[in-house]
Amino acid sequence: MRYPLINRFKGALLGALLGEILAKDGKRQDYISCDVSQILLLGTKNLIELGKLDLDNWPDEHLKASPDLNCTDGLLLRAMIATLPVALFFHDHSTHLRQQLLEMLPIWGGEPVIRDGTLAVGYAIAKSLTEELHPQTLIPEIISFIGDTSTLLPDKLIKLNNLLYQGVGLETVQAEFSREDDIGHAIIMGFYCFLSTVEDLQFAVLRAAHREHTREGETGNLHSATISIITGALSGAYNSSLGIPVKWHGLLSPNNSMTPVLELADVLVAVWSGVYDPPLHLNEYPQGRCLRYEEQAPLCVFASPRVIQSR
């Protein structure tokens, strides 16, 4: 195993947070940053408490787009964040992963491009966690995983795959896909930034946060934030938390985002492995901020789901 599974969980979650922080505009600093951490925490809490996805208890009030943003764009941003814990939790079984992601589709109003985007990102993250991600074959595998669809995302992914094979630069890819004014652009650019620098998390996220990605107008920096979050999550899952530069840890300190996310990853892996019994161990921080162990004992045992059981 190249990286411990727990480090990949942490890398994906922290990568998404860092992607948003690096892309955000100062005028919207508090708004989107707070949403990212809140959606991650509340969505993961649902999985931890029940050991499964339960949409009846899903905190969908935190996933709705803000009224000052384009509805579909805003939902894509939140969908990518909210489905990240689901992709982590069901990473070891592709059929279950696809089923769970599709069950979440009604939250986003059944929007086809959001369906395809969450399937694409979820599949790529799962392959990183199982150490079966091969950049040369990932996009064809994603297209197969998406299946029949009414969107043009598979066609765009094929075009992206050809451009990656040719080794074209960022500006060329940006110009190629920016002609079409839809949210599929953010998904494509997120995959480009990841796959073109797959071993370098720092460079991938910095490229994703580049201001030229931003679609000007009513959505402000939303497109840039979505691209960066996708890239951060993908690269974080692949390179793990060990690939995050130490100097970037300080970016998470001002709003105290890092500590609860790291603790959340510990608990999520423990529930997934079967070594953690939620009714016995769950305890909430004041004001419902996050979840933690009552004893804060370090985790050191991992196995396939429910192989390890409490005695």
Q: Identify the band that residue 53 occupies on the pLDDT scale cut at 50, 70 and 90.
A: confident
Structural domain contains residue 307: no
Q: Identify the band that residue 68 occupies on the pLDDT scale cut at 50, 70 and 90.
A: very low
More confident residue, 294 or 237: 237
Structural domain contains residue 100: yes
The tens digit of pLDDT for each residue in 269-279 reads: 988 887 666 55
The tens digit of pLDDT for each residue in 97-144 reads: 999 999 988 888 888 999 999 999 999 999 999 999 999 999 999 999
% residues pLDDT > 70 (the chain): 72
What pLDDT, on a 0 to 100 scale, did the predictor assign at position 232? 96
Structural domain contains residue 202: yes
Summary mean pLDDT of the chain? 79
More confident residue, 191 or 77: 191
Q: Mean of the pLDDT values across residues 39-48?
A: 79
CATH number, residue 14 = 1.10.4080.10
Structural domain contains residue 262: yes
What pLDDT, on a 0 to 100 scale, did the predictor assign at position 67? 39
Structural domain contains residue 289: no
The tens digit of pLDDT for each residue in 173-222 reads: 988 887 765 678 899 999 999 999 999 999 999 999 875 444 443 334 45
What pLDDT, on a 0 to 100 scale, did the predictor assign at position 33? 46
Give me the number of domains the chain comprises: 1
Q: Domain range for residue 237?
A: 5-280
The tens digit of pLDDT for each residue in 219-264 reads: 344 578 889 999 999 999 999 999 999 888 887 766 666 778 888 8
User: Does pLDDT of 25 surpass 70?
Assistant: no
Structural domain contains residue 127: yes
Structural domain contains residue 66: yes
Could you give the C-alpha distances from 218 to 35, 67, 180, 306, in angstroms and in order?
A: 19, 11, 17, 47
Structural domain contains residue 310: no
